[in-house]
Amino acid sequence: MASDPLISVDQLVAGYTRPVVGPVSFAVRPGEICGLGGANGTGKSTLLKAITGIARSFSGRIQRLPGLTLAHQWQRPELPPELALLGRELYALLGADPQSPPAFIKPLLEKPLYAMSGGQFQLLQTFACLCSPARLVLMDEPTNNLDGQALEALSTILHALAPDRAVLLVSHESTFLERHCTSILEMPR
């Protein structure tokens, strides 16, 4: 018998002042990497924000496994210009173990945020979410700004995901989705 879904979305219509996405239905089970694809402006990011509770659900429902923990990697995170936080301090914010980060991002951990490029900052945020104890990780265009080496590291960690965890991944790069996702939901225009 398949395990209970971490999250079930049923006929959800979501948006802000007015609906921008839906109705849409899907479920994410432990061990799955679910892809949300589609053109710009189809409401992929809004859907993630409806799941976290900051976008408005107009109709339909979102059912979560009791006690489910979530982490959400935002698209284009703002890099504060004058906040002298070190990479390891940001990395540990969501509970990621600072003692055993992926080797690939170790050079970033002792670097202050102001000395990072946009891509490095995004990479650090992505891994802070993936290496946190959250069972469901929502990722919004994680491949933006990443070079080949960083993409390879992201692929490796996605494939090494613990079986009780899952990822809901938004990307407009269909090749990346096809390569990594166990299921793909194409958002209609």
Which residues are near other proteins by CB under 8 A?
Answer: 49, 51-54, 69-72, 74, 77, 80, 82-86, 89-90, 93-94, 100-108, 111-112, 114-120, 123, 125, 129-134, 137-138, 145, 147-150, 153, 156-157, 160-162, 165
Nearer to other proteins, 151 or 187 (CB): 151
Nearer to other proteins, 89 or 172 (CB): 89
Residue length of the chain: 189
Task: Give rounded-to-5 percent helix, strand, coil for the chain.
Answer: 30, 30, 40
The least distance separating other proteins from the CB of residue 120, rounded to whole angstroms, comes to 7
The helix/strand/coil state of 164 is coil
How many Å apart are CA 35 and CA 185, to the nearest integer? 6
Nearer to other proteins, 157 or 184 (CB): 157
The least distance separating other proteins from the CB of residue 38, rounded to whole angstroms, comes to 21
- 33, with CB counted inside 10 A (0-12, 13-18, 19+), is buried
Nearer to other proteins, 158 or 177 (CB): 158
Among residues 182, 150, 187, which one has the least CA distance to residue 163? 182
The helix/strand/coil state of 134 is coil
The least distance separating other proteins from the CB of residue 189, rounded to whole angstroms, comes to 26
The least distance separating other proteins from the CB of residue 86, rounded to whole angstroms, comes to 5
Quote the tokens at residue 121.
């900052």
Nearer to other proteins, 18 or 148 (CB): 148
The least distance separating other proteins from the CB of residue 185, rounded to whole angstroms, comes to 20
Residue where the block lists tokens 């995170």: 77
How many Å apart are CA 58 and CA 42, to the nearest integer? 16
